[in-house]
Amino acid sequence: MQRDIATILLQIGAVSLRTDPPFTWASGRFSPIYCDNRLIMSHPRHRAEVATGFKNLLAEQNWRPEVVAGTATAGIPHAAWLAQLLDLPMVYVRGAAKGHGKQNRVEGRLEKGQRVVLIEDLISTGGSSVGAAQPLIDAEAELLGIAAIFTYGLDVADRRFAEAKIPWVSLTTFEKLLTVALSEEKISASEKAILADWQKDPAQWSLARGGAG
């Protein structure tokens, strides 16, 4: 499954790899990888494969949710397709409380004690994912874990999830993506080494090339 999902992401350009010149993120940081999993929405067959991948991944983890939650905004469609596949209710978590009405962070019906899984499109540093999980925990739901389409595999994310005591899984990984990209000749062996070097310390990698840290 990891290889299949990595192939999809490369095929549709949801994940792009480029070492020279690197991409510039909104933060000003330079990076040899750019991820936009929103592109999956435009490919009906592939978005169905992602939903099925999530279903299988949850089964592997023995996570049996009663509700599927999505992160705003990129996690929402994938949570909806998964909820439809599992015939389960769905909610989504706002990035910030609504400024009027009930000022909800969680939209939809989530009852105290219900088992819920949170769907993310991407895990980078883990900060936004842990932040999105907190309203579910505050609502006294039973958070089984977070499931993402792709992860950069950064150490900082591992630390944040461990500190928050939140289990997490991903359909595919940075390492698997590099393996597939190399086998399909989308990158060279030297470029794979550069990408692996970036993963070890993205901030230093960017600073060394004139980008933000």
- Which uninterrupted H or E stretch holds 33? strand 33-35
Amino acid letter, 169: V
Q: Are 92 and 107 in contact (CB under 8 A)?
A: yes
Q: Are 208 and 22 in contact (CB under 8 A)?
A: no
117 in helix, strand or coil?
strand
**How much helix, strand and coil, in percent to the nearest 5, is found in the chain?**
45, 20, 35
- Which uninterrupted H or E stretch holds 181? helix 174-183
Distance between CA atoms of 187 and 192, rounded to whole angstroms? 7
Mean pLDDT, the chain, integer? 95
Q: Nearest CA to 61 among 126, 147, 165?
A: 147
Low-confidence spans in the chain with pLDDT less than 70: 97-102
Both tokens assigned to 104: 């909800």
Q: Nearest CA to 170 among 66, 80, 37, 33?
A: 37
Q: Please tell me the predicted confidence (pLDDT) of residue 104.
A: 84
Residue with tokens 């015939």: 87
Q: Please tell me the predicted confidence (pLDDT) of residue 100.
A: 60
Amino acid letter, 168: W
Residue with tokens 């992160």: 71
